[in-house]
Amino acid sequence: MFVAQGATGSVWMVGGMSSDSSALPNSGVRSSIQVISLQTDGSLAFWVSDDMLNNVWGQVGYFISEGGAPIAFYQIWNLNTSTILTEGSTPISVGVHAFSMYLQNGTNWAYAVDGNVFGSFSMGSSASSPSYPIYVMAEEQGNNTFYFPTVSFAPALQVMRAGSWTPVEAAYSYGGAWGVEGHLQNDSLQQNQLLVGGNLSALSPSSRLWSAPATASPASASLTMTYGTLTSAALSLPLLLRVRVQR
């Protein structure tokens, strides 16, 4: 959960998740996300995430806080202790950008935009969890949900295996505060493409977004969590995330 420093209100997340055999385990995740600029009264973020064997969790993407310029960020948490281990940010331009986190060497993971590394950290593991889902999300923080134009993720989810980026073959929806579409809701989209926000219709929980034949149902992990005055209810991510807004 992305939380902008000093903000109050609630948090909503909508996007996709996968625990498919094509997704887990892995040594990296990547999503190509459309970066927009938007005036907001709260915070808006888009990101992709991965969890390690030791329950160290990372996310990388971008955020817009109270109408400021978009900023790329990464943040790493120890989920066992609910503590931030490190974080970083860098300016980013409007357009489509590839956000990735991946194993560099040993247990060191890089955090990159368009292949340009802007942070690294020893995650204590050389591989992801074999069961905890990877996520790609749009997230809002504020007193109420607010409108944002449709944002594309294309490809939405790729994973690093044997040194190459490979597509995730099946994913399911997460959250219902606003709309999301994959190939199975909109056949003009290819497999492994998502649209989120705008005037799209909300989906039932864990609706299949795209899939290859005979894929398994998504793994489940539910937790309600609170961070200061920020409350996030009925979410499936045991995370409490904060990014320092840099102006």
* Residue pLDDT, tens place only, 85-119: 999 999 999 999 999 999 999 999 999 999 999 99
Q: Are the C-beta atoms of 221 and 234 separated by less than 8 Å?
A: no
* CB-based burial label for 201 (10 Å; 0-12, 13-18, 19+): exposed
How many domains, the chain?
Answer: 1
pLDDT for res 218: 58
Structural domain that includes position 22: 9-235
Residue 117 lies in a domain: yes
Q: Are the C-beta atoms of 63 and 50 separated by less than 8 Å?
A: no
Residue 187 lies in a domain: yes
Residue 242 lies in a domain: no
pLDDT for res 73: 97
pLDDT for res 195: 98
Q: What is the mean pLDDT of residues 164-180?
A: 97
Residue 245 lies in a domain: no
Residue 49 lies in a domain: yes
pLDDT for res 8: 57
Q: Is 70 exceeded by the pLDDT of residue 242?
A: no
Residue 3 lies in a domain: no
Residue 243 lies in a domain: no
CATH number of 46's domain:
2.60.120
Of 115, 198, 114, nearest in space to 152 by CA? 198
As a whole number of angstroms, the distance between CA 78 and CA 6 comes to: 22
Residue 213 lies in a domain: yes
- For the ranges 7-16, 32-41, 207-216, the maximum mean pLDDT occurs at 32-41
Q: Are the C-beta atoms of 222 and 173 separated by less than 8 Å?
A: no
